[in-house]
Structure 1
């Protein structure tokens, strides 16, 4: 928000300095990001009038001007092609300075030049606030400008601009007059009341019919007769330019001036282009083509609010007017609009059309209904001030939804308790009265009624903020917080998810985050059985699109989409994981949520570690083991043959404590082909809900007694898994004496009968209280072997 120091001085009696303003406004919560000067270092530039123009004798593109600067007439040579006799222009005198540097006496093709005629650029004026005629060539000044007057005063360049970073709740300060209220509080002075032209509410000239009362709370219309369009006075233009707005014409300038001054947008219609004296505020017609003021055809929808006459749409409420009711140079009568529109609806309209205006940005932030009439009366006053039309005394005011200005009660003790201070009741009342809030005192309770434009004041905490804002944040005492602190135990599920993410990242995987909404066609792409429970997904009642119409029942489809997108972009070494929630019906009225972890890997060159060109099932199994071990437990695998998503014979069910927690394997080649991936894809997905909180690790001293190692080689049928062998060993062994065991050899060959394999284990025995004897070890060893023979049909080799 750009705020002119000179403009603030129009309302506040004290002469303000920019550095002081910056400090005071920031202290009040209106943070001043920067302060810039419009002077730009120029000097000795005055207003002059071109008396005569002669062609240069030796240059076709140069002319010799005699310029009256008040005290003398100067000869100045220029190459500008827009000058004419009688034109009043900025003149840089010898010894003066423009943006490009100092001005010296010079000769141009033999003719001495005693100064320079200046363009807007040479004065440091931003070209965006100049019209096309002013941008190119010498800058014209009004004919009434006093010759010899300092150009800084003429063009308002003796000004400082404050760029204020407003917080969303202070939408009222998008009006410079309301910023001036804050300045008056800071300097403990009075603010000048706005001059307005009041009228009488009467619908005899214009009738307003609001059909959508929730979208338009108030609409005021007033007629201006015999409009005289033309440029605004220079002082008026200077204020607009200081706020970054380009002057256009006196009528448009007034609506912009009121918007900048009060923060309330307005709009003007050519009254004679309206089909009737009735204004309708209704929803637009679906698929209607409407041409806005910028000449663009736009397709509107029935969700958008429109301003219409009896026959047609003439404006999109709060966004932009229509070309069919534009005020032109032929306009004689004008209908002036001031209204209050629903901010959320304006935001939706603006975004859908890709059309954002100064008006829409203000309506989006929220305005006061009460401010609507003030804006209309202020515009009426300015129209008469600039003598540009006859303002009708009557106006139409449709106000179906009245602004509720509540009385907010706050206890004095509560204010001090929250702030940790001891501010007296009298001081609080004084602060509220400075803000022009009405205050009622009842014992130790204050009933406060804020001003209508302060729509951010809705509860007692807002009043507390106002107290400390005005009293001074710098007066808050620097004390440590008091009270007891309670350490809350973190949810184990959250902790588990974080642990799993950290471990997967440490293992070299990249985390992805995907939507919980998926396309039901994904189930076909991953070859899911028609009767699979995962197909019974929760459907979304109002999906964004068909591609996101059901809740996911597994993480695999989304991770595959990410992998496919990267693979198509030549990223063929991928290791991805996601920790997220899936949603299952499971016969419940409400879906059950599960936290899962899915991990995918393909094409990764691991030759430097593993001696292979790419990953395989066993590599991913090692990743899985590292992950689950880090979570404080272990797992076993059982062969899975029924799952069509995975390659037959290369898939296993993951079990922890005999409970299925997930699946791991190589995805079926048809699944890879469905996602345009020509590599083998390995994937596992586990349910984190099945993990239990880890117990605190206990220290075990190093053993004092030696261990005994025994090897055991035996033959078992081919279909016996290592998990089955492990289970038998654990059941048959004495837990206090078998401290470790591991597989070290698997053999299949000519010396082993068909459909059998030879496996060899090393088993380590130890007793922490004494040295084990060979006899004791043999008893345990034989017990393990008998268990294998009995349960798995093993034969000692």
Structure 2
């Protein structure tokens, strides 16, 4: 997720003396991973202005002349944009301002000197692809503003954007409020929560029927006057969220980045009041007893969206079974902010956070439809258990007491040897999870190393297999053996049982992967985000109860990957397409030896793995490599011999049976098809075989007409 450093500082109340580097260190220290930190924009000395008068340049049909009052003087600035009018407030580069290090100067345009340049969203550093067409083509117009103020300070334009990788079990932390609270717990600062407004709630005539798998929530809002202000638009853009012309879609995305909960907005005049879940064909819908109004957890059907003028809006934000959301996204072929968000667990605390957030934006709201259970999980707080994990008595350590204070800031409550878990933390379920929470704030660097009584050192040469693969232009990476059971869906070897651990530190690492493909795909995704698009990688490690090797590439072809697998393994495989819905139907094959599946080649189905670039994978079980049928033979210096053979193949007859017999003969160096002729449903294929003298004898003594009976 992309976070604004300014917003995190504001919500976590972080002291100004704390540097960006210290914040990054804190984030990494408490179990998250900073992928990148970059400066938001490069503008200097820009100013607010008030447009006094506009008129067309008499010598140019494209230019509008604007007389603009600034804090120090009135300036003339010309623009080609058509949306600037008198009494507007704008931001401008004036002589001496800088954009990307280049100083802005006065410039004569159509015989009138322009003393600067008016600013649009792209000039402020916002990505064009995140902006609406209007924002891309027009000058940024503001509400009334004090001309003496600095736009850079007021709008926090000299911001740093921090890209953070967050594990899926911490869906609560994929939001400004929860992530800022994590930093507040680290720095022991005074966290600024969402204020709870005391007000009278309006009555809601909408009812939502619950089912066994999903807990549906929502609230009704009456609109007097509502707009997303410029600071909120800026925060959405800094967070890499696309702006929409519909203000309710923008508000839904604002709620998402602040609370981690996605909203779906409906115009109350377009729906009836009895809402429930309904399945039609392969898709689950939200239905109002007359019609389907949204694809559950994915998107609102366009006809029922509120317009910018809607007066009564229903917001639905629910706890939907993640498997249903993924199924809906796949079958509807829609990937939205909602579907991505609802593919993770949404806790009761996150729903209440979203409810309070909405209440602060609207004066007339209903109570939450379908009350949330606010009962906190609690269990025995066992300090001896913590000591056993630490390996020493941790209770007297200063850092331990600080870690408990951090947990208190995160709303964990410890009293009388019992701990209560905040309802926002669906991932904390037992004392082992509490140990993990304490240790991440205690600081792993604060555990002293114990000397090893005896240490045997040995040197080993580079693994010959790894060396061979490196020569084929692959780079080795290392991925985790353990994976979330929910993410362990890719099973090309058709293992019957998922190997789940009985004890584990995190839900994200509770089972042994069934393939190396998904972990290595994460490595590709990370590099593709960095615009590194040409990659060939390999990894080896445990899958299920066996050891596996995988090669993968964005630059090598399917056939090149197949040849590399054969070269690495020194095997000739029977290649048969696999009937596996998780693989691309046009790019997959199983690799068989003696009728047993030992590997696969291909692409993962695009609906299952969404990446900007195609990746070809080749994976093989290592026992297939390390038990080859090769044997030592004396070196034969005689020239290689050629033989041509023609096979007559009837329609639907399998040629592979002949080719496998050829490939099984030791001493064959190449098999090349040289001609093909078809007549009367019989296909005649001629192959030229290059082989050694010893292979010639076997070839010539083989009865190719009766090869089916022989095999």
The interval holding the TM-score normalised by the smaller chain is 0.5 to 0.7
Q: Which residue of 2 aligns with 1:436?
A: 411
Aligned residues: 546
Please say if residues 120 and 134 of structure 1, whose CA atoms lie closer than 8 Å, have aligned partners that are also in contact: yes
Give the CA deviation at 1:545: 13
SS of the equivalent of 1:169 reads helix
Can you give the 5+ residue segments of structure 2 that lack an aligned partner in the other structure? 457-544, 550-564, 602-617, 646-654, 666-670, 692-696, 698-711
Give the CA deviation at 1:380: 2.2
Q: Distance in 1 between matches of 2:236 and 2:11?
A: 16
1:92-103 map, 5 Å: 92-99=93-100, 101-103=102-104
Residues 710-757 of structure 1 deviation map (CA, whole Å, 9 limit, x = unaligned): xxxxxxxxxxxxxxxxxxxxxxxxxxxxxxxxxxx9xxxxxxxxxxxx
Q: Which residue of 1 aligns with 2:6?
A: 6
Give the CA deviation at 1:95: 1.1
> Which of 17, 20, 39 pairs up with 1:18?
20
Q: Distance in 2 between matches of 1:2 and 1:652?
A: 54
Q: Residues 543 and 75 of structure 1: is their aligned pair in 2 closer, same or farther, counting only changes over 3 Å?
A: closer
SS of the equivalent of 2:280 reads coil
Q: Residues 373 and 681 of structure 1: is their aligned pair in 2 closer, same or farther, counting only changes over 3 Å?
A: farther
1:405-416 map, 5 Å: 406-409=377-380, 411-416=382-387
Q: Residues 149 and 403 of structure 1: is their aligned pair in 2 closer, same or farther, counting only changes over 3 Å?
A: closer
Can you give the 5+ residue segments of structure 1 that lack an aligned partner in the other structure? 287-300, 385-389, 486-493, 499-503, 520-541, 563-575, 583-594, 600-605, 617-643, 655-665, 684-744, 746-797
Give the CA deviation at 1:197: 4.3
The alignment status of 1:555 with 2:594, answered yes or no, reads: yes
Q: Which residue of 2 aligns with 1:35?
A: 37
Q: Distance in 2 between matches of 1:128 and 1:507?
A: 44
Residues 272-326 of structure 1 deviation map (CA, whole Å, 9 limit, x = unaligned): 111x21111x23211xxxxxxxxxxxxxx1xx33211011110112111111211
Please say if residues 197 and 378 of structure 1, whose CA atoms lie closer than 8 Å, have aligned partners that are also in contact: no
The alignment status of 1:235 with 2:235, answered yes or no, reads: no
Residues 194-217 of structure 1 deviation map (CA, whole Å, 9 limit, x = unaligned): 12347899996222112x321x1x
Give the CA deviation at 1:62: 2.8
Q: Residues 596 and 15 of structure 1: is their aligned pair in 2 closer, same or farther, counting only changes over 3 Å?
A: closer
SS of the equivalent of 1:315 reads strand
Q: TM-score, normalised by structure 1?
A: 0.59
Q: Residues 507 and 324 of structure 1: is their aligned pair in 2 closer, same or farther, counting only changes over 3 Å?
A: closer
Q: Distance in 2 between matches of 1:577 and 1:262?
A: 40
Q: Distance in 2 between matches of 1:577 and 1:182?
A: 40
The alignment status of 1:449 with 2:431, answered yes or no, reads: no
Q: Residues 189 and 645 of structure 1: is their aligned pair in 2 closer, same or farther, counting only changes over 3 Å?
A: closer
Q: Which residue of 1 aligns with 2:218?
A: 221
Give the CA deviation at 1:404: 7.8
Give the CA deviation at 1:123: 2.6
Please say if residues 50 and 65 of structure 1, whose CA atoms lie closer than 8 Å, have aligned partners that are also in contact: yes
Q: Residues 483 and 166 of structure 1: is their aligned pair in 2 closer, same or farther, counting only changes over 3 Å?
A: farther
Larger Cα-atom Rg: 1
Q: Residues 100 and 53 of structure 1: is their aligned pair in 2 closer, same or farther, counting only changes over 3 Å?
A: farther
Please say if residues 93 and 119 of structure 2, whose CA atoms lie closer than 8 Å, have aligned partners that are also in contact: yes
Q: Residues 515 and 15 of structure 1: is their aligned pair in 2 closer, same or farther, counting only changes over 3 Å?
A: farther
Please say if residues 36 and 164 of structure 2, whose CA atoms lie closer than 8 Å, have aligned partners that are also in contact: yes
Give the CA deviation at 1:610: 4.5
Q: Residues 512 and 48 of structure 1: is their aligned pair in 2 closer, same or farther, counting only changes over 3 Å?
A: farther
1:575-594 map, 5 Å: none
> Which of 289, 292, 296 pairs up with 1:313?
292
Give the CA deviation at 1:340: 0.6
Q: Which residue of 2 aligns with 1:491?
A: none
SS of the equivalent of 1:94 reads coil
Residues 226-262 of structure 1 deviation map (CA, whole Å, 9 limit, x = unaligned): 4545x42222222222212244454333322221111
Give the CA deviation at 1:94: 1.2
Q: Distance in 2 between matches of 1:92 and 1:560?
A: 61
Q: Distance in 2 between matches of 1:315 and 1:507?
A: 51
Give the CA deviation at 1:581: 9.9
Q: Distance in 1 between matches of 2:455 and 2:390?
A: 19
Please say if residues 412 and 420 of structure 2, whose CA atoms lie closer than 8 Å, have aligned partners that are also in contact: yes
The alignment status of 1:126 with 2:127, answered yes or no, reads: yes
Q: Distance in 2 between matches of 1:496 and 1:615?
A: 41
SS of the equivalent of 1:264 reads coil
SS of the equivalent of 1:74 reads strand
RMSD: 5.0
Q: Residues 176 and 580 of structure 1: is their aligned pair in 2 closer, same or farther, counting only changes over 3 Å?
A: closer
Q: Distance in 1 between matches of 2:374 and 2:91?
A: 50
Q: Distance in 1 between matches of 2:288 and 2:4?
A: 39
Q: Distance in 2 between matches of 1:35 and 1:51?
A: 41
> Which of 592, 613, 616 pairs up with 2:642?
613
Q: Distance in 1 between matches of 2:662 and 2:249?
A: 73
Give the CA deviation at 1:615: 10
